[in-house]
């Protein structure tokens, strides 16, 4: 499967030469959608917010102060990242028309897992988007291939595999929403998106959960900026950029409450090694070069190559009497 991505800034696109692709964090994008110039990127992930709200049994208003505070100190939500590619197809030249002349392009011939038809890397996986009228058309229960992909992508991080179950349930619940695009008035079938979801998975060290701290800059609705570090499970202290007030430091909870939840968060990026899922990737060049690449690729489409990163086995329950079965996700009322 050939994937193409348009990127603003040639220096960022050229990172593909070292097998590197950057993924933007999800939370900052929800609080303030970035201006990318890419017409398909302004889709608001309301279903992700609903899934996150379901974790707390709350209403899905991301700017409700207590809910936003809970999200910012969560062990998973501020540490999920996303990037998207376009799947090469006969409408790809129409897709290319939406870009500006100064944009740069990269391509990846991705190797999908034979069983799940997903791309599985280290702390990330990729899957083709589902396009539906409503997310309720999709089945949450039962087997979803991306769940196996998510498990394989983090299993090496846990010596005791049972310790990864809580994180798998969270990732599967949230990824379900990210891999679904509801058709609205802006939808067009030209999009044809393949998404890669990456994450900083919490580790278990000496029996305790550890998550990497995340440097952050919060911006209030008044323009006030606060610099600090988001620490999972803790009410971190942030420092204001103004010298008007005597006390420059405030807690995360105080800032969100004072700003009535109307804060934004600076974007963070996670670099993933695309060599986990491909041995054929390239920097294409500009828009004109990308058009030639599309034409050439469509004229002689390479055969898709699959790898075996997952296996399927069938067990009889009587053979595993001590087995404990747990739900792989949380059901969400969308």
pLDDT in tens, 35-63: 666 666 667 789 999 999 998 888 889 99
Q: Cα–Cα distances in Å, from 162 out to 76, 151, 158, 283?
A: 18, 11, 8, 40
Strand spans (E) along 1-133: 2-7, 20-25, 80-87, 104-109, 112-113, 119-121, 124-128, 130-132
- Quote the pLDDT of residue 37: 61
User: For the residues 160-181, what does the mean pLDDT come to?
Assistant: 93
> Tell me: the pLDDT tens digits for 119-132?
999 999 999 999 99
What is the band of 298 on the pLDDT scale with cuts at 50, 70, 90?
very high
Does residue 260 form part of some domain? no
SS3 assignment, position 99: coil
SS3 assignment, position 3: strand
Does residue 181 form part of some domain? yes
User: For the residues 180-196, what does the mean pLDDT come to?
Assistant: 90
SS3 assignment, position 168: helix
Residues ≥6 apart with Cβ < 8 Å to 153? 120, 121, 122, 123, 124, 125
- Quote the pLDDT of residue 311: 85
Domains identified in the chain, total number: 1
Does residue 186 form part of some domain? yes
- Quote the pLDDT of residue 223: 87
Mean pLDDT of the chain: 91
**Residue with more model confidence, 59 or 80:** 80
Does residue 228 form part of some domain? no
- Quote the pLDDT of residue 227: 95
**Residue with more model confidence, 329 or 254:** 254
Q: How far apart (Å, rounded) are the C-alpha atoms in residues 267 and 34?
A: 9
194: pLDDT strictly greater than 90: yes
Residues ≥6 apart with Cβ < 8 Å to 36? 8
Does residue 154 form part of some domain? yes
What is the band of 293 on the pLDDT scale with cuts at 50, 70, 90?
very high
- Quote the pLDDT of residue 108: 98
**Residue with more model confidence, 39 or 210:** 210
331: pLDDT strictly greater than 90: no
- Locus of tokens 């969308």: 334
User: For the residues 13-34, what does the mean pLDDT come to?
Assistant: 94
Does residue 318 form part of some domain? no
User: For the residues 240-263, what does the mean pLDDT come to?
Assistant: 84
- Quote the pLDDT of residue 319: 81
Closest CA to 116 of 273, 306, 313: 306
- Quote the pLDDT of residue 39: 65
Does residue 8 form part of some domain? yes
Range of the domain at 47: 2-209+268-313
Closest CA to 167 of 154, 176, 156, 177: 154
3-state secondary structure 200-247: CCCEEECCEEECCCEEEEEEECCCCEEEEEECCCCCCEEEECCCCCCC
- Quote the pLDDT of residue 207: 83
Angle subtended by helix axes 165-178 and 145-154, to nearest 10: 130
CB 81 within 8 A of CB 195: no
User: For the residues 230-243, what does the mean pLDDT come to?
Assistant: 89
301: pLDDT strictly greater than 70: yes
Does residue 56 form part of some domain? yes
143: pLDDT strictly greater than 80: no
**Residue with more model confidence, 142 or 131:** 131
Q: How far apart (Å, rounded) are the C-alpha atoms in residues 153 and 123?
A: 5
């Amino acid at each position: 499967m050939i994937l193409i991505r348009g990127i603003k800034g040639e220096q960022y696109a050229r990172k593909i030469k070292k097998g590197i692709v950057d993924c933007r964090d999800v939370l900052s994008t929800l609080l303030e959608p970035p201006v990318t110039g890419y017409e398909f990127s302004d889709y608001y992930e309301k279903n992700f917010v609903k899934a996150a709200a379901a974790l707390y049994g709350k209403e899905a208003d991301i700017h409700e102060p207590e809910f936003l505070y809970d999200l910012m100190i969560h062990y998973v939500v501020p540490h999920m990242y996303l990037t998207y590619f376009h799947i090469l197809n006969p409408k790809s030249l129409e897709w290319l028309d939406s870009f500006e002349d100064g944009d740069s392009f990269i391509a990846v011939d991705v190797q999908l897992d034979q069983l799940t038809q997903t791309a599985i890397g280290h702390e990330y996986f990729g899957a083709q988007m589902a396009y539906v009228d409503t997310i309720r058309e999709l089945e949450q229960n039962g087997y979803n291939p991306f769940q196996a992909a998510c498990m394989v992508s983090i299993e090496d991080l846990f010596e005791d595999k049972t310790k990864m179950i809580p994180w798998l349930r969270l990732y599967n619940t949230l990824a379900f929403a990210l891999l679904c695009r509801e058709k609205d008035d802006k939808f067009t079938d030209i999009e044809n998106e393949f998404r890669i979801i990456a994450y900083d998975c919490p580790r278990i060290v000496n029996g305790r959960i550890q998550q990497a701290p995340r440097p952050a800059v919060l911006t209030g609705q008044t323009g006030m900026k606060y610099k600090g570090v988001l620490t999972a499970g803790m009410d971190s202290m942030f420092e204001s950029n103004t010298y008007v007030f005597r006390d420059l430091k405030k807690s995360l909870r105080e800032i969100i409450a004072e700003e009535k939840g109307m804060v934004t968060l600076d974007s963070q990026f996670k670099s993933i090694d695309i060599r986990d899922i491909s041995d054929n990737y390239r920097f294409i060049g500009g828009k004109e070069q990308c058009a030639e690449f599309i034409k050439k690729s469509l004229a002689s489409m390479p055969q898709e190559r699959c790898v075996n990163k997952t296996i399927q086995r069938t067990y009889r329950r009587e053979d595993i009497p001590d087995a404990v079965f747990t739900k792989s996700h949380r059901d969400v009322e969308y």
